[in-house]
Structure 1
Amino acid sequence: MVSELGLVIFSVDYRLAPEAPCPAAIEDCYAVLKWAHDHAADLKIDRNRLIIGGDSAGGGLTACLALLARDRAEIKVLFQLLIYPMLDDRTGTTLMPSPALGEYIWTRSANHYAWNAYLGKTPGSPGISEYAAAFRATDLTGLPPAYIGVGSLDLFLDEDLEYARRLMAAGVPTEVCVIPGAYHVFDVFIPDAPLSRQFRASYFTALKRAIFQDFPENPA
């Protein structure tokens, strides 16, 4: 991303569960976003073109960060890049995905364990904050445009597609890419596979549109 798109990337070393359950990680993410925004001139970046993104649990944090930034109204986020994001604590517990999902790499039991560690209580419990599990949000209006990419065998397929549908219903421009036959983090395990290259090309294209939407490559 740095070499091809010319981005400056800040990787957040957020605190980890279970030693630091939510909201530690999301507050760390917000702190870095605000720091980058407030020091944009020193960092030689455009504070009006701040993009947030992540994959898996990081994708879930990204979706929560978009909600938090909207609600605190201190920072405008240009775009959210959600790569097979982990959005709903109920997946695999009270909410069951399609039977074929979650058989490879990231299973229902792994998902339950991770959510339990992050939330500090049983996944699916009432009163889970939308800043912990973005799928819990009831109002998605006013969020930045989104890209959601996921594999067709990923445990998160159902929740990701439903979240995308809800974003679009709320008037949020949203692009969806489903890679057939792909499991969770497939592109990390086999980065040079044709499907992995196709996936990267898809979200790189989405990022280019977001970044350069007001700056045509060949202005008249």
Structure 2
Amino acid sequence: DNILITTCDADSKFSPEYISALTYKYLKEKQPALSTIYQSPLFYNWKLDGLSFVSRVTGLLRSLLMLGALIPFNINTMSIFSYSLSLAQKGNYIHPAYQMDDIICLIRWMGVTKQRLRISMIPVPVLSGPTNGETIEKEIIEWTRQARRWTIGAIEVFHYFIVKAKGMPSFAACCWGICFIIYYGILLCTSGLYGLTSMLSMFLLVK
């Protein structure tokens, strides 16, 4: 229970205070080794001043969604997060073969601990590389690839959750499943379609 592990990406830049902030949070919450995962806010502003307007906007939106939805509603961790060694051992660690291994491990760990895991925010940001390209055209291509990966990953996560939900407490499984569907199915997908149709409507109707 005294050993913490941090999973991260290669393009991550940690604050010098990350370890001390994580340790303080863990001790302050009385070492919830099997019930809590620690997530630092991800700021996608790695060399942001030299990137395009699209990268800046999407980077800010992703950070806002993490701070406003993913962490407070305990929906899922994202890329860079910390957890206890005992939780990792109990949940058979993380499988990088999955598209969204961070959400997959969260679901599996909820199954082995028989509870909905809490995501506790570490008040220290981590810099992460945004999705971008050298030109607008390449940026669109990169976002197309990213969207395809996320779509496949979300379907994979939903299927994995349906299979593993049988081993979770009914209330915890229902609460997490509803939050997941609202965020990924309604907030992200539906809002994108609404924005696209609204733009097309304005373009066709307004003269």
TM-score (norm: length of structure 2)? 0.30
Greater length-normalized contact order (CA 8 Å, ≥ 6 residues apart): 2
More helix by share: 2
Q: Which has the larger radius of gyration?
A: 2
